Amino acid sequence: MRRHLSALLLAMILLAPGVAVAQLSANEQKLYEGAKKEGEITWYSAHSAADVLELIGRGFEAKYPGLKVNVVRATAQVAFQRLSQDLKANSAQCDVFSSTDVGHYVYLKQNKLLAKYVPENARKIFPAYQNLDPDGFYHITSAGLVLITYNTAKVSAAEAPKKWTDLLDPKWRNQVSLGHPGFSGYVGTWAVLMKQLYGWDYFKKLEANKPQIGRSINDTVTMLNAGERSVAAGPAETTIRSAQKGNPLAVVYPEDGTLLMYAPSAIMANSKRPNGAKLFMEFLMGVEYSQIIVEQYGEPMRPEVKLPPELKPIDQIKTLRPTVDEIVNGVPEVKELWRDTFGV
């Protein structure tokens, strides 16, 4: 209910006479006028759950009356596969592409399939998120954290692991829950980071504790809630959201560094609605969007947005973020190593 009320409230504020128009910059105004003539834009996105993406789509429509965004939610690999089929068939369906796999953007940029656009808002987001692609073809519009999570009914705050190497302690034998890098970009990137920090030996030692391997990083939330496992390398957003409902979950920001996972968006070169697409990119880096995200316990892009007490501001956490190259080259490698070490 809350999220709908707030969306409604947002819409009311934005629709108030004079306010919306006054907020638009000259560039925005120009794009808005152009977009009105182009029709519905299509957004392929793997960034959030379907209902959150719908909220974002509606937020956009509320801010820019008369425009429509067609939200196509899919997991990153399915979204990319669809995009590839579209490109093969020469049919320009997708205007803005939001995957969680940075490798997709490197490939698309190399093959000249992306349109260059640096949104005005790009320099207003947290510095940690700025300037992912120096050439300005793709930009971070979504972020998440991977940290240590645990079941508070089984593990006290004092006992809980404080850093990633604590998970290697034999007392967590049969108690650790993980996702799988073949199913989750979060887990893949996390594995790259762990390998950078401690070498692949980290996972060989972890295997001695017989961790349970799921698929999505969100599977760890289910496993902790069920009591099947008591500690995990899990996602901040889903874990905190579940804990908010009253589930026995808590998070630890590891001393040796929380993984900052980022997901870009980009405009397709073949987009037939360039104004709408550019305006949408502006929106993804705007305040209203971050407001919607924060209400779902996601990480905001903009510092102006007030955080709920459960979230720690990004600039107060020790975060680590592998570079695009490290991820693109590292993830396929850790997937292979993972399969050798864990058997799946």
Partner 1 sequence: MRMTPPDSAGTTTIVPRVETRPDGATTWMRSFEPAMLLWLLLIAILAFLVLSPMLRLVFASFEDRVTGAFTLANYAEAYGRPRYVQALFNSLALGASVAVIATLFAVPIAWAISRTDMPAKGFIRMVVLGAFIMPPYLGAVAWMLLAGPNSGWLNRIWIGLTGAETGLFNIYSFTGLAFVIAVYSYPYIFVFTNAALDLVSSEMEDAANILGAGTWRTTLNITLPLVFPAILGGIIVVFLEAISLFGTPALLALPARFNVVTTQLWQFFEFPVKVETAAAYSMPLLFITIGLFGLQKLILARKGFVALTGKGGERRLIRLGPWRWVMFAYCMFIGALSVFGPVIVLAQAAFARAWGRGFSWANLTLRNFEYLLFEHDSARQSIVNSFTYAGATAFIAIGLALCIAYIVNRRLVPWGGVLAFMCMAPFVIPGIVLAIGFYAAYAPPPLALSGTATIMILAFATRFLPIAYANSAAGIRSINPEMEEAVRILGGGRLLAIRRVVAPLLKKSLVGGWILVFIPATRELSAAIFLAGPHNRVMSVLLYDLSEEGNFEVLSAFGGLLLVATLIVVAIGFRAIGRDFMLRGN
Complex with partner 1: residue 34 or 248, whichever CB lies closer: 248
Contact between 329 and partner 1 (CB under 8 A)?
A: no
Contact between 173 and partner 1 (CB under 8 A)?
A: no
Q: Please choose, from the candidates 165, 217, 148, the residue with its C-alpha nearest in 3D space to the C-alpha of residue 189.
A: 217
Contact between 51 and partner 1 (CB under 8 A)?
A: yes
Q: What is the DSSP letter of 307?
A: P
| Farthest-apart Cα atoms in the chain, separation | 64
Complex with partner 1: residue 16 or 50, whichever CB lies closer: 50
Contact between 110 and partner 1 (CB under 8 A)?
A: no
Q: Please choose, from the candidates 75, 136, 83, the residue with its C-alpha nearest in 3D space to the C-alpha of residue 100.
A: 75
Tokens for 204, please give them: 């060989």
Q: Which of 32, 35, 67, 93: binder of partner 1 (CB under 8 A)?
A: 93
Q: Which of 34, 136, 182, 257: binder of partner 1 (CB under 8 A)?
A: 182
Measured CA to CA, the distance from residue 255 to residue 43 in angstroms comes to 37
CB-based contact 243:167 (threshold 8 Å): no
Residue 73's beta-bridge partner residues?
45
Contact between 156 and partner 1 (CB under 8 A)?
A: no
Measured CA to CA, the distance from residue 107 to residue 169 in angstroms comes to 40
Q: How far is the CB of 37 from partner 1 (least distance, A)?
A: 23
Please count the residues of the chain: 344
Complex with partner 1: residue 20 or 74, whichever CB lies closer: 74
Listing DSSP states for 180-241 in one string gives: -TTT-HHHHHHHHHHHHHH-THHHHHHHHT-PEE-SSTTHHHHHHHHTS-SEEEEEHHHHHH
Complex with partner 1: residue 103 or 286, whichever CB lies closer: 103
Q: Which of 27, 81, 111, 131: binder of partner 1 (CB under 8 A)?
A: 81
Contact between 10 and partner 1 (CB under 8 A)?
A: no
Binding mask 125-154 for partner 1 (x = CB under 8 A): --------------------------x-x-
Binding mask 232-251 for partner 1 (x = CB under 8 A): ---x--xx-xx--xxxxx--
Q: Please choose, from the candidates 187, 185, 232, 191, the residue with its C-alpha nearest in 3D space to the C-alpha of residue 209.
A: 232
Contact between 77 and partner 1 (CB under 8 A)?
A: yes
Chain position carrying tokens 């790009």: 122
Contact between 309 and partner 1 (CB under 8 A)?
A: no
Binding mask 192-221 for partner 1 (x = CB under 8 A): --------------------xxxxx-xxxx
Measured CA to CA, the distance from residue 266 to residue 80 in angstroms comes to 13
Binding site for partner 1 (CB under 8 A): 1, 4, 49-51, 54, 70-78, 80-82, 84-86, 88-91, 93, 101, 103-104, 107, 151, 153, 174, 180, 182-183, 212-216, 218-222, 224-229, 235, 238-239, 241-242, 245-249, 335, 339, 342-344
